[in-house]
Amino acid sequence: MDAISVIRTKRDRGELSPEQIDWVIDAYTRGEVADEQMSALAMAILLNGMNRTEIARWTAAMIASGERMDFGALSRPTTDKHSTGGVGDKITLPLAPLVAACGAAVPQLSGRGLGHTGGTLDKLESIPGWRAHLSNAEMLDVLDTTGAVICAAGDGLAPADKKLYALRDVTGTVEAIPLIASSIMSKKIAEGTGALVLDVKVGSGAFMKTIEDARELASTMVALGTDSGVRTVALLTDMATPLGLTAGNALEVRESVEVLAGGGPQDVIDLTLALAREMLDAAGLKDADPEKALADGSAMDVWRRMISAQGGDPDAALPVARERHVISAPSSGVLTRLDAYDIGVAAWRLGAGRARKEDPVQAGAGVELHAKPGDTVTEGQPLLTLHTDTPEKFEYALKALPGSYDIAPAGTPFTATPVVRERIA
């Protein structure tokens, strides 16, 4: 085998053989295939695609590059959720303890934010003392004692994907659906969960901008999970508008705790419950009532135990940014649009996100929303509040926001897009 022949096969719209796929993934992981050669292959895949057989073999090869976890010793059925990323997407934080409170075990391996999308680990690290990195033994212990764990994937889990993901990010090939699908599913299948619910975002703030692309990605991942013996279902959910009323790390933790306490924005509550029902159903716990577990405080109890088990203090004050800048409504009427991508870029520029994986983030930075589409606003009232520790960032963040919202005359009819748009199983 050699890298050039593999690249030429896909460049010329051919089908990669199982042997070619196994070899190139293994050789790249070992450093035998150079970054520039894998970049060329990734671009050929972006342009020419892969069929289901190729994607399945590519995923299997990435799984085979590392270890596989086993939760067979747990007394509870395992179920997990993965989001393709969005703005204000703090759903994992209330969801994992909620599903655990209903009797399942939730091994949630999460990631960090990059660009305009937020990362679950970055959010949780705003809690004093909380640790993202656990050994496999520590992860199993937290899962066994609390029912839920949210942590970083270990280095031994699909190392080929870790290396390839970093390369795709800097070569303009992130959007390749076969590579997105295999990246997500290689980690989730290697993780060893028995059931998986995929939250595939669609809209301006998502990587999938159209319902057609989101449907293709979701169908591809559901097929990969099903073929590997993992009960898999996907929900296509709206990301035209940010989820909830915050985009930023500590801001989103605070809002998540509000949801666990019985309050919080309705769209966050609705999506949390919809995903919880899917996860519990996939785990065989069809009679569990997540709405009750949210209302009676049992989900909050699991949250507190989970945070404490990972070194965090659930009672500690969360970081608050030193500087604020308020954007007021320029006119009165009905807010009809609030663009998720623009809000995400503003939060990122304020310090809530990173341009490179090694960049630090500000725990208190982000954007607070004072109205959502459909709300009536009055001229001069606060519409957005920008938070940062470094006021010189305001000017750069503000450049992302002209044209990010529309206000129509009072009485203009408005129909909200449902948070869950489709279900694929």
pLDDT digits (tens, 9 = 90+) for 348-361: 999 998 877 677 89
Quote the pLDDT of residue 51: 95
Please report, for residues 81, 93, 234, 274, the alpha-carbon distance to residue 282 in angstroms, rounded to integers and kept in the order given. Answer: 11, 20, 11, 13
Residue 298 designated active-site? no
Contact of 178 with 45, CB cutoff 8 Å: yes
Quote the pLDDT of residue 354: 82
Residue 387 designated active-site? no
CA dihedral (306, 187, 77, 234) positive or negative: positive
CA 176 to chain centre: 17
Quote the pLDDT of residue 154: 83
Quote the pLDDT of residue 342: 98
Q: Which fold has domain 80-309?
A: Pyrimidine Nucleoside Phosphorylase; Chain A, domain 2 (3.40.1030)
Quote the pLDDT of residue 169: 75
Contact of 87 with 243, CB cutoff 8 Å: yes
Q: Which of 10, 57, 81, 82 is catalytic?
A: 82
CATH number for 3-49 (one of 3.20.20.70, 1.20.970.10, 3.40.50.11540, 3.30.1330.60): it is 1.20.970.10
Q: Which of 112, 187, 188, 349 is catalytic?
A: 187
Q: Which fold has domain 323-408?
A: Aldehyde Oxidoreductase; domain 3 (3.90.1170)
Contact of 109 with 133, CB cutoff 8 Å: no
Contact of 244 with 255, CB cutoff 8 Å: yes
Q: Which of 81, 163, 168, 387 is catalytic?
A: 168
Residue 82 designated active-site? yes
Residue 313 designated active-site? no
**Mean pLDDT, contiguous 10-residue spans, the chain (425 residues):** 96 98 97 96 97 95 93 92 95 98 96 83 97 94 96 89 86 89 93 95 95 96 93 98 98 98 97 98 96 97 98 98 98 98 97 81 97 98 98 97 96 95 96
Quote the pLDDT of residue 9: 98
Q: Which of 80, 161, 199, 342 is catalytic?
A: 161
pTM of the model: 0.93
pLDDT digits (tens, 9 = 90+) for 76-115: 999 999 999 999 999 999 999 999 999 999 999 998 887 7
Quote the pLDDT of residue 357: 65
Residue 168 designated active-site? yes
Domain boundaries, the chain: 3-49, 80-309, 323-408
